[in-house]
Chain A
Amino acid sequence: MLDRLGTGLKDAMKKLAGKTVIDKAAVDELVKDLQRVLLQSDVNVKLVMGLSKAIKSRALEEEPPKGMSVREHVLRIVYQELVNLMGKDVTVTLGPQTILMAGLQGSGKTTTTGKLARFFQRKGLRVGVICADVFRPGAYDQLKTLCNKINVPCYGEPGETDAVKIVQNGIPELKNSEVLLIDTQGRHALENELIDEIIALNELTKATHRWLVIDAALGQQAREQAARFHEAINIDGVIITKMDGTAKGGGALSAVAETGSGIVFIGSGETIEDLERFDPDSFISRLLGM
């Protein structure tokens, strides 16, 4: 990974090659290069500035370990700081649990709910799904169609306007499920009533996990939005969707930073099979355009 990082930032790295003491100008240039690619990948401006500062001071203050070249030393610092940005490692437990899906309108919650149902089903668990979206036309049809494809029970009450009531009814209906997935309607930070609704759903279900679904293309807004969701229901994992497009997913890193969580899964296509576990190295590669 370190070598590839070097090629990703190649012009700036060249200036550090063969050096025996660290040259401030070369580090500044490297950081500037890094800033450019991170901003182009939608990493939050404030995160980028924080990361730049950390890299600069560490590169100039820390002694390179014995036998390590200046170039390697700086690369290692850059890599470590980038890995930090990825947040915690999230382990997905393969046992009984309830997962509450949350996110902005159109981010990919319903599709991802279908993918997760498939994922846990393949691990040999009994899965049940509840449609708690009382707003979007066709929401139940969409989720039900996805669940039917894999023979997973899907509870919903099309026409009902109270999401909490649906979930209340759905839980006993699906009591044989080991993994319970709850799809919710899209909402954003300024929609107070909807934020209250998801708080109520979280309290009712005592969800084991509350996962925030983020579109890979989401820009600077990711930070504020994630902060609001986190304040409401304590997000403990982020899923980045639509990584099969050209967006880099840097916005989701703000969500990780705001929630102190990590990335659980990556959505990489429209079919129910297109779900991948998160791999920090390949994510960093993509972020830096390598």
Chain B
Amino acid sequence: LLSEKDISEPLDELEIILLENDVAFDAVDSIINHMREDLIGKKRKIRTSSEDFVIEALKNALLDVLGEGFSLTNYIDTHEKPVKVLFTGVNGAGKTTTIAKVAHFLKSNGYSVVIGSGDTFRAGANEQMRTHAERIGVKVISHQEGADPSAVLFDAVSYAKAHNIDVVLADTAGRFHNRANLMNQLDKIKRVMQPDIVTYVDEAVAGNDAVIRAEEFNNTVGTDTVVLTKADMDTKGGAAISITHTIKKPIMFLGVGQGYDDVIPFEPERLVNELLGAEN
């Protein structure tokens, strides 16, 4: 039987590993404490060290937190078209680039796509989206800088309906969750365009704030799926655990670079193995 003493050293070590890999403090705290309670008194197999036993248990716990992911193509195949996906998130997280990548991915898989350039606020946002769209050969609906984003995205949906387009990908300006007026604007966008999926985008290199903002976005506008970008920045992806632990919504894609192909479906096992070392 495992005693408190057997597990406390390996758990302390794992706690540091998680923290060093950007799993948010509160998520680490809750996962490790939960394991502590769970493991004490458990029988361990003969010939496995208590350390291996604890690592195995943590892997399972993390896989539980991460869930199975989310297949966008499955969703599209089983729902009425156009499927409308609204992208939200804080400034600079990678929303616009992700939309270009996802559009390219869908197009390569035989789906027709229209993009709504819903960032009418940031300087150069329209030019950025239009250039991407042109390069990947996808239609983009945009209005002038300063226009009402709801109107742009409404037009994008109308265009999709009129032209039998499978998917609408709707961009929004980056915003912080503590700005009530900007969050209200997202609410209005939602009412007007009636998205099927609200996708929250954040970066894999974000630390503890990942939890706070994911929670706020989820509480105020709602989140159905998550995309984590910049996973190529030498990170092991602790933010994935922070976010799924907090809002319990599936991860749809990982962004792994700035090219149009740099978007991959999320594989929970791979992430956990990288985080804890694959040798076990």
Taking Cβ atoms with an 8 Å cutoff, the residues of A that contact B are 36, 39-42, 45, 104-108, 135-143, 145-146, 188-190, 215-221, 224-225, 242, 244-248, 250-251, 270
Contact = CB atoms under 8 A, between A and B. Distances in A.
Interface of B: 16, 19-22, 24-26, 90-94, 121-132, 135, 176-178, 203, 205-210, 212-213, 230, 232-235, 238-239, 258
B85 to A, nearest CB: 21
A138 B124 contact: yes
B124 A217 contact: no
Given A141-B123, A219-B239, A190 B208 contact: no
A120 to B, nearest CB: 19
A217 B239 CA distance: 11
Contacts of A143: 123-124
Contact of A220 (B125, B207, B232): B207
19 contacts: A36-B25, A42-B208, A104-B205, A104-B230, A138-B130, A143-B123, A143-B124, A217-B209, A219-B206, A219-B207, A219-B239, A220-B20, A220-B21, A220-B22, A225-B233, A246-B176, A246-B177, A247-B208, A270-B121
A39 B25 contact: yes
Given A40-B208, A42-B209, A190-B232, A106 B92 contact: yes
B255 to A, nearest CB: 10
A225 B230 CA distance: 13
Contacts of A251: 207
Looking at A143, A146, A247, which has the most chain B CB atoms within 10 Å of its CB?
A: A247
Contacts of B212: 246-247
A190 B26 CA distance: 30
Contacts of B22: 219-221
Contact of B19 (A45, A217, A245): A45
Looking at A188, A189, A219, which has the most chain B CB atoms within 10 Å of its CB?
A: A219
Contacts, number: 139
A221 B233 contact: yes
Nearest to A225: B233
Name the prevailing secondary structure of the A interface residues: loop
A219 B93 contact: no
Nearest to B18: A45
A248 B235 CA distance: 20
A248 B233 contact: no
Contact of A188 (B130, B131, B178, B234): B234
A139 B97 CA distance: 13
Contacts of B239: 219
B122 A270 contact: yes
Nearest to A146: B123
A156 B209 CA distance: 35
A248 B121 CA distance: 25
Contacts of B124: 138-143, 145
A189 B233 contact: yes
Contact of B178 (A104, A141, A145, A245): A245
A217 B206 contact: yes
A107 B230 CA distance: 12
Nearest to B121: A270
A139 B128 CA distance: 7
A250 B206 CA distance: 11
A244 B174 CA distance: 13
Contacts of A224: 234
Q: Which 6 A-B pairs have the closest CB atoms?
A: A219-B207, A142-B124, A106-B92, A138-B128, A137-B131, A138-B127
